[in-house]
Amino acid sequence: MRCPTCGTVYPSEAKFCTRDGGRLLQEGDTAQDVASASRATSPRVITPDVTSKRVISHANMAGQVLDGRYAIVKKVGEGGMSYVYLAHDVSTNERYAIKILSPNLSRDENAMARLRREAGLGIRLAHPNVCHIVRMGETEDGLVYVVMPFVEGEILADRNNKLGFLPLVVTVEFVTQISAGLQVAHELKIIHRDLKPENIMICKKGGGSEYAVVMDFGLAKERKAGGELEKLTATGIILGTPEFMSPEQLRGKPLDARTDIYSLTLMTYEMLTGKLPFEGRTQQELMIARLRNDPIPLRLRRPGMDFPESVEKVLFKGMARSADDRYATATEFAQDLQAAAAGGGSPPPGRVLGKIFGR
C-alpha cells in the first residue's frame, strides 16, 4: 500500500497514511485512481457556499462549542491522525486539550478500536506527573474526540537542545518525577512504549519550582493484551521512536515495564551529557549498536565532568540489553539514581557490568 500524496509505502494491512491522513492505494493503481482517491480523502477540500460563510472542519474548529460543553479557543497542534485544540469548559472555565481524530481515521474500525482502548487505559492514569485522558466523546455527526488536561510548559527536548545538558541534581529531580508517573501506569499494567524527551513537559508550579509531566500515552497498552490488540497496531502507525527503543522493542519481542525503564535511562544519559550512549551514522546503525554494543561511558561523553562512578553503574544497569538484568520497577531505578547522585549508593554487590551486558 502507498500514499498517493507523499508516496510513503506501508504494509498491506495499512489503510491510511500517518503523515497526511489520506487513504492508501495498492501498488500499481492508475493515475486516475490516485487522483480520485486524493479528491475523496483530502480533509482540506472545501467548497464555499454562496454566502461566503467560514466553513468549519476538523482542522478549523476555533470558536466552536463541542458537544455544548467545550469552547474551542485555538488549534495548538496537528498531525496525520489528529488535531489538538486548546478549549475550556463553558461551565467551570477549566482549560483542556481536545484531541480530535481526523475524519478518515474516525471511519476506520481498527483505528477506532485502538483509540477506545487507549482512552479506557488513559482514564485510569490520574497522577500529577502524567497527562491522563479525562474522557472520550463522539458528537452526533461522528466527530470523535479525546479530552485531556491542558499542560503548559517547555518540552524536555527543547530544554536539552537549549542548554546542551542538565545538571545532575536537576536531572535526578526530573527522573524521579517521571518515574513516579510511570510507576502508577506500570502498576495498572500499562506501558508507555514511546518515552522520549519530546513526550516530557517541564511545567512550573505557583512558586516557580519545576516538575516533569509524561505526555502522550497514546501508545500505551496493557501488558496482557491478546493477539487482537496486536492486530490494531498494523494500521500504518509506527509504535515507538527508534532512538529510545529498547532492544526487545527493536526485535519485536513482548514488552513489559522494563522497556520504559530502558528508554528512561537513555533519556537520563542524554540529559547528563547532551548525547545518546550509542553512536551510528544512520538510524539503522544506531539500532544495531543498541543490540550489540555497550553504552559509551559518561566520562567519554562529557570529558572533564566528574560523575560519581555509582551514577554510571545505575545507568548501565538501566540500559542492560537483557530486560532481566535491568531494574524491575521505575521506583527502584529512581531510588538508586538518587542514592548514587548523593554519593552513597550503587547497585547491589555482584551485579558487575560484565553480567549486565551478557559477557
Q: Look at residue 217 in the predicted model and tell me its pLDDT.
A: 73
Reply yes or no on whether 141 is catalytic: no
- Note whether 30 and 89 are same-domain residues: no
Is 100 inside a domain boundary? yes
Contact, 146 vs 98, CB < 8 A?
A: yes
Is 201 inside a domain boundary? yes
Is 115 inside a domain boundary? yes
- Note whether 211 and 347 are same-domain residues: yes
Is 217 inside a domain boundary? yes
Is 47 inside a domain boundary? no
- Note whether 174 and 145 are same-domain residues: no
Q: How far is CA 354 from CA 111, 292, 336, 347, in A?
A: 44, 14, 19, 14
Whose grid coordinates read 479528491? 39
Instruction: Tell me the CATH number at 220.
Output: 1.10.510.10
- Note whether 98 and 13 are same-domain residues: no
Whose grid coordinates read 513489559? 256
- Note whether 160 and 132 are same-domain residues: no
Contact, 36 vs 18, CB < 8 A?
A: no
Could you say which residues of the chain have pLDDT below 70? Answer: 4-7, 10, 13-24, 27-56, 79-80, 111, 118, 218-241, 344-359
Show which of 87, 116, 149 is a domain's final residue: 149
- The rounded Cα 134 to chain-centroid distance in angstroms is 18
Q: Look at residue 312 in the predicted model and tell me its pLDDT.
A: 95
Q: Look at residue 109 in the predicted model and tell me its pLDDT.
A: 80
- Note whether 5 and 80 are same-domain residues: no
Q: Look at residue 120 in the predicted model and tell me its pLDDT.
A: 80
Q: Look at residue 139 in the predicted model and tell me its pLDDT.
A: 86
- Note whether 83 and 184 are same-domain residues: no
Closest C-alpha among 15, 25, 20 to residue 235: 15
- Note whether 335 and 226 are same-domain residues: yes
- Rounded Cα distance, 279 and 13, in Å: 33
Closest C-alpha among 332, 190, 188 to residue 265: 332
Q: Give the chain's length.
A: 359
Q: Look at residue 337 in the predicted model and tell me its pLDDT.
A: 97
- Note whether 350 and 214 are same-domain residues: yes
Show which of 110, 125, 149 is a domain's final residue: 149
Give the domain extent around 22.
1-35
Catalytic residue among 108, 194, 260, 336: 194
- Note whether 95 and 221 are same-domain residues: no
- Note whether 136 and 237 are same-domain residues: no
Contact, 10 vs 27, CB < 8 A?
A: no
Instruction: Tell me the CATH number at 109.
Output: 3.30.200.20
Measured over the CA atoms of residue 2, residue 3, residue 5 and residue 7, the dihedral's sign is negative
CA angle 210, 174, 292 (to 5 degrees): 155
State how many domains the chain has: 3
Is 43 inside a domain boundary? no
- Note whether 240 and 321 are same-domain residues: yes
